[in-house]
Amino acid sequence: METGATILDLNQLRRSCGLCALNELCLPAGIGRPDLERLDTIVHHKRTLDRGKALFRQGDTFHALFVVRSGSLKTFVENPAGDVQVLGFHLPGEIVGIDALANDHHLCDAEALERTSICELPYAQLQQVVREVPSLHGQLMRVVSREMVAEQRHLAMMGNQQAQERLAIFLQSLADRYGRLSRDPSTLNLPMSRYDIANYLGLVVETVSRLFSRMEAAGILAVNRKTVRILRPDLLTALCDSSGRSLRSREAG
């Protein structure tokens, strides 16, 4: 009995937000010690998803927000005609499920791209904690806002950039996020398929494939299936805003 309790406590401890390496990237960022412990009481750390498994589906009733703990997710919408749009790829520390707050139903699907573990924040309980810990409200709004900004960047890319710039921006952004996770930002492991990448960028898979080849030929990347090494970060950055292209209503007036 006693031993059992100890093990449980250890697990509890190891899995607490306070000890999580993602702490500063995640919802708890900037939350004080006692408040953190209160938040910890409601977080479920259990869920693990195999590659291809859904965390939730469009239409599911909303009951919790989720944070990626390890692994990665993609979120996407599918309209009645069957068109898919990948909305984003989610790395550790990033939150998903916010779109469901508006009407208590998820409006997109979330699927694991690899074996992925998830922290679950039951929303009813989260709201209760928000009442007790006011600073959590501000933090939650900040996290939501961060998601919106990411979507806006995605949108700006789709509206203005050529195919090659899109892929460059995508890789750059992934490298940045790798850096924040203290991974090597020059060696990217792409857990998603070429189809996913293409769809996310508003392109077809053949175009993405050709661009990888072209960038490899240019000495910018070393591409090996799902592993991409960035050999010339400077050239990659240059591609992100290479302005020798169309003006697609730059001056909206």
Q: How far apart are CA 171 and CA 165, in angstroms?
A: 10
Q: Whose Cβ is closer to a second copy: residue 23's or residue 162's?
A: 162
Q: Does 140 bind a second copy (CB under 8 A)?
A: yes
Q: Does 181 bind a second copy (CB under 8 A)?
A: no
Q: Whose Cβ is closer to DNA: residue 145's or residue 227's?
A: 227
Interface residue with DNA, options 184, 206, 218, 219 (CB under 7 A)? 206
Interface residue with a second copy, options 36, 144, 222, 223 (CB under 8 A)? 144
Q: Does 107 bind a second copy (CB under 8 A)?
A: yes
Q: Does 250 bind a second copy (CB under 8 A)?
A: yes
How many positions of this chain bind a second copy (CB under 8 A)? 62
Q: Does 94 bind a second copy (CB under 8 A)?
A: no
Q: Whose Cβ is closer to DNA: residue 103's or residue 246's?
A: 246
- The pair phi, psi for residue 181, each rounded to 5°, is -90, 10
Residue span binding DNA (CB under 7 A) among the ranges 41-49, 64-72, 178-186, 210-218: 210-218
Q: One-letter amino acid identity for 11?
A: N
| Cβ partners under 8 Å of residue 216, min gap 6 | 222, 223
Q: Does 162 bind DNA (CB under 7 A)?
A: yes
Q: Does 226 bind a second copy (CB under 8 A)?
A: no
Whole-number Cα distances in Å, 150 to 124, 139, 145, 179: 26, 17, 9, 17
CB of 206 to a second copy, least distance (A): 10
Q: Does 81 bind DNA (CB under 7 A)?
A: no
Binding track over 215-234 against DNA, x by CB under 7 A: --------x-xx--------
Q: Does 10 bind a second copy (CB under 8 A)?
A: no
Whole-number Cα distances in Å, 214 to 167, 223, 242: 11, 10, 16
Assigned token pair, 141: 């709004």
Site for DNA in 170-199 (CB under 7 A): 193-195
Decide the pairing of beta strands 64-70 and 54-56. Answer: unpaired
In the three-class reduction of DSSP (H, G, I as helix; E, B as strand; rest coil), residue 205 is classed as helix
In the three-class reduction of DSSP (H, G, I as helix; E, B as strand; rest coil), residue 190 is classed as coil
Q: Burial-class residue 14 by CB neighbours within 10 Å (0-12, 13-18, 19+).
A: exposed
